[in-house]
Amino acid sequence: MKVSAALSKSPIEKISLDNHSIYIKRDDLLNPHFSGNKARKFAYYLEHNSTSITKLVSYGSIQANSLYSLAALAHLKGWQLDYYVSRIPDWLKDSTLGNYGQALALGAKIIVVDSSLLTDSNNLDGYMHQYAETLPETSLFIPEGGRSCHASLGVYTLAKEIADYCNTHKLFEKDTFAKTNQAQVMLPSGTGTTALFLQTWFKENNQPIKVLTCACVGDDVYLKKQFNQLNPDQTQWPTIISSRKKFHFGQLNKNHYLLWQHLLKETGIEFDLLYDPIGWHCLLDYLSNNYASNNNSTIPTFYIHQGGLVGNQTMLPRYQRKYPELF
């Protein structure tokens, strides 16, 4: 398999949803096994030849999209993946589906950290950073969710693809170049790494594109802390938009499922069930609040499909068990 050919440009499709016209950046179609924003964030490791590496070490949630993407990366590179978790829920243990099941099928080794080693003050993140110090040179350590400066390489490529599209399709008005934002890009955030590096690239390259995002995992304060760790220059931060609806990340939510189903029906595109319902709630609220009410015409709006569809294999049966009436 030719590894360098794995990531080519992803397509952009124009869809119409609830009277809004939106461009979807289909990063879910980058590559069958290595797709979405994890593929962008891990592209650096795919492209750089590190011949001495034999093992990839990472950690996080057992259901994380990054688990599957890291397993795919390790598989493409011929490395072993050791992935550390704090627990595996009983219902998932025998599953061959989803990020966990599919990562096992790609040869990933899942290691449950002894709970006596984890405390409130030294959680999995803290424990793994200490452990990383003891790893031999042949092991490559990737922090949870790919939150690292190396993520910029692949995310900058994504930013450039969007800017190129705007320029070749003449979406910017010439005379007001770079003075006001002329397009906006929405994507839901976990660690915020993807959104931050996108906005950084647009700013540094004078592209009049505003990045909109929302906090899915923690609150807005957590998200700003993450931005600050990666880039202290606040003028290069994305704009955080919020939803009026409250939710808990990872928990089943009837409104999320209904919106997911609506998106599938209206656009024919399957989105992720964890981040995308939150992202779309926020974006649709934002568009109606900022444009429809005061008759402003919307500037071109992009939504990035960041993959994560393997996770739906375990999310959908859970929804079906909890809300059989919706199926």
Ligand X SMILES: *Cc1c(COP(=O)(O)O)cnc(C)c1O
For binding to ligand X (CB under 6 A), which residues are involved? 36-38, 65, 145, 188-195, 272, 275, 306-308
In this structure, what token pair is assigned to residue 315? 């999310």
Which candidate, 156, 159, 141, places its Cα nearest to that of 45?
141
- H helical segments located in 58-97: 65-77
**Shortest distance (Å) from residue 314 CB to ligand X:** 14
Nearer to ligand X, 182 or 199 (CB): 199
Nearer to ligand X, 172 or 319 (CB): 319
Nearer to ligand X, 189 or 207 (CB): 189
Which candidate, 185, 188, 193, 275, places its Cα nearest to that of 226?
193
Nearer to ligand X, 54 or 239 (CB): 239
Task: Report whether 209 contacts 171 (CB < 8 A).
Answer: no
Could you give the C-alpha distances from 216 to 255, 288, 313, in angstroms and in order? Answer: 15, 21, 20
Nearer to ligand X, 152 or 194 (CB): 194
SS3 category, 182: coil
Q: What is the DSSP letter of 31?
A: -
**Shortest distance (Å) from residue 13 CB to ligand X:** 17
**Shortest distance (Å) from residue 97 CB to ligand X:** 17
In this structure, what token pair is assigned to residue 164? 């190129």
Give, rounded to a whole angstrom, the gap between the first and last alpha carbons of the chain.
40
Which candidate, 256, 311, 312, places its Cα nearest to that of 279?
256
In the bound state, the residue with its beta carbon closest to ligand X is 308
Provide the pairing of β-strand 12-17 with 20-26.
Answer: antiparallel
Nearer to ligand X, 155 or 172 (CB): 155
**Shortest distance (Å) from residue 289 CB to ligand X:** 23
**Shortest distance (Å) from residue 180 CB to ligand X:** 26
* E strand or H helix at 280: helix 276-287
**Shortest distance (Å) from residue 40 CB to ligand X:** 9
